[in-house]
């Protein structure tokens, strides 16, 4: 595949990243894979909006995030698939990008400022481990 992998946790910032990824995919005629992670390590990076859907291991929240992204993408006519992955958010994005042989990973900038930046963030971890280019969308 030549395409774009984008992560979502259902937050407004993640929605901005999904919409920006859709704009890029449409302009470059690429398909998209939208990823949402769940499990203990994914829940640690969840936004307050996403946490509202969380039960047990967070799978319900991840599936809800994918449904929200799918609604946006269907409206724009972008070819896409979704992946609900058990694992940490950054690791899941990198793993799916490797599996799909993606050209680009798109993530929101949440966690790139303040104490979270020092402690680590999804965009930071993805940018250091990605097998492809990373596009960080300013979301805050």
Distance of CA 80 to the CA centre of its chain: 13
Residue 53 has phi, psi (to 5 degrees) of -95, -5
Average pLDDT, the chain: 85
Output the pTM of the full model: 0.83
Neighbours of 21 (CB within 10 A): 30
The number of C-alpha atoms within 13 Å of 134 and in the hemisphere containing its C-beta is 20
Alpha helices in the chain (DSSP H): 12-28, 40-43, 48-51, 59-76, 89-100, 114-119, 122-129
Total number of domains in the chain: 1
User: Whole domain around residue 7: which residue ranges?
Assistant: 3-137
Q: Which CATH number do you get for residue 42?
A: 3.40.50.620
Neighbours of 91 (CB within 10 A): 17
**pLDDT tens readout for residues 27-86:** 999 999 999 999 875 555 555 555 555 556 789 999 999 999 999 999 888 889 999 999
């Amino acid at each position: 595949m030549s395409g774009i992998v984008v992560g979502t946790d259902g937050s407004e910032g993640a929605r901005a990243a999904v919409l920006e990824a859709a704009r890029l995919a449409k302009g470059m005629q690429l398909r998209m894979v939208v990823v949402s992670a769940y499990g203990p390590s994914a829940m640690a990076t969840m936004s307050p909006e996403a946490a509202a859907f969380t039960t047990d291991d967070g799978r319900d929240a991840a599936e809800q995030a994918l449904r929200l992204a799918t609604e946006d993408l269907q409206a724009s006519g972008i070819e896409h698939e979704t992946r609900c992955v058990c694992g940490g958010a950054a690791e899941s994005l990198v793993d799916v990008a490797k599996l799909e042989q993606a050209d680009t990973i798109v993530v929101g900038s949440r966690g790139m400022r303040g104490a979270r930046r020092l402690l680590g963030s999804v965009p930071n971890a993805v940018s250091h481990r990605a097998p492809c280019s990373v596009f960080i969308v300013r979301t805050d």
